[in-house]
Structure 1
Amino acid sequence: MPRLPRLTGAATAALALGLLAAAPAAGHEPLVTDARVLAHFDLAAGQTPENIALDRDGSADLTFAFARQIAHVTPEGRTQVRATLPAVAHPATPLVHRAAVTGIARAQDGTLYVGYATGTDATGIWRLSPDGGAPQRIAALPADGLPNGLALDERRGVLYAADSVRGTIWRVPQEGGTATAWATGRALAPLAAPAARGFGADGIKVRRDSVWVSNSDRGTLLRIPVGPDGSAGPVETRADALPGIDDFCFPGQGRSVLAALDSAGKVVLIRPDGTVTDVLTARDGLSDPTSVAVRGRTVYVPNSALTTRRDPNLLLSRLRHLIGRG
């Protein structure tokens, strides 16, 4: 999710969502190889990618957080802005102080859903039709929160939004309506200042009958079972010691996770037993990576460059082999 460094002089707001770097263990072949930049973006125009959703043809939709845009990148690397969310007067988003488009999720029919954090009554979940047109808000969220990661469970017809400031997972009907606080508690909350940046629940994904969430401040990867009635079960910690963990994805059929660690500036593989291996780093071309997605054996890494100020881009790399159920 977007976040600001401590501002000094003319320093500008910065998004800090990072993919963990991949570096192979000594004596082993690297899991992720052949890194290359698919598309370069314009930092001066605010084209700082925050989150990603993939289509079947290998194209990607990205949120450009502080430009308030949803952009489409073709498999050939061409970039087109799909939509710009409406500007708000006097945005007062907690922590970042600017209006920001954050998480993105794609439905099977191509409908896109995004989180919009503004510090005003425009904050909420917005929908973009596959036929185009203006984005429409389908659910309001509290103005004093910061909706960050977004996940869609089409089987149940619900969206889950991770609120990094309020430490809450909001549940919203896919067709729109009233948001309800689905899960709360210490495990989802940020740490108190000045010990941390104030970002709790961050990335989020639905995996079978559970919702997985990262907590950036606490450096944890969490699993929350979904009960038969749709309620949240007890929060389980599946991995820790992951400083600045942001968004993540499941690269295979099991519970292994590829995660973005913004504090470390790298992408890591987290095995089901909690062991962590670096797979991508700045040496591979990462520049403030913000999220990660996988289709087949292709790994997609958006890079915001908001702190490096160098080359915001969409980086592609290749899994050496598919990751099974381990």
Structure 2
Amino acid sequence: MSNGAAVVVGVDGSEPARRAVRLAAGEAARRNRPLRVVHGFIWPLLRVPVGGPVDTGLRHQAQEVVAAAVAEAEAAAPGLRVTGEIIDGEAAAALLGETPTASMVVLGDRGLGGFAALVIGSVAIQVAAYADCPVLVARGAERTAGPVVVGVDGSALSRAAVEFAAEEAALRGTRLHAVHAYTHPVSAGPGDMQPLVYEEGQLRGEEDRLLTESLAGLADRHPQVPVTREVRHGRPVAVLTEASRTAQLVVVGSQGRQELSGLLLGSVSQGVLHHADSPVAVVRTVGADGGG
């Protein structure tokens, strides 16, 4: 990723996409990055004659969607470098094609093609599952106060999420709130038998140590970021959802230590995407720095 890597935002003219544009403009401005507005134009894939009145009309409509998003971004962050492009292809594929060179990708939780009954759209799920950079999903309340919350479970992706979240907290001038939720003892390794009875105090001490180890060195790397810690007995999705109600942003790794390696997007990250009351960032790549 180059130092000039853009923040990329996907647009389709929907209200969730407009929220994503405002969120992306703020991210690009904080990071001193250009903003790239992308619209996936699916019409050429439908094997209809190109250049006819329908195709021309729809392409003009797509151009208007991009132009409106560019104008909204410029209004949200005056002085921001903003460009727009229509990419022939389905929305998720168009956005995923951007991720190898992007600082991050931002999108709405649901687009024009989404079903109203779906809390989170299929495009958001696909992009979060496969992206080569952090994915920021605009959902919940837009807040300028409150902490950046990060879910911690000791996995490699969790550590990458902590680093990204600390950077976000530094850029936003706020504190980092690290949350570790547990429902049973941590497994020592594959095939490890969990005891049927365990001492709560001892278990709590082990979970506290896991969180402490996951945050080791953070104060040296980000001395300007105050860090608060929370260890809670409870399901991670429920605990993080509760924390999201006062957060500017919730950050999760795409997959946790207790989840099957074959899952591209783990149940916790999906659950948080479905239920959080704040924007959610999903970090899928170990070592992702979010372009700071």
Same fold per TM (> 0.5)?
no
Mark the structure with the bigger radius of gyration: 2
TM-score scaled by structure 2?
Answer: 0.26
Higher strand share: 1
* Structure showing the higher helix proportion among its residues: 2
- TM-score, normalised relative to structure 1: 0.24
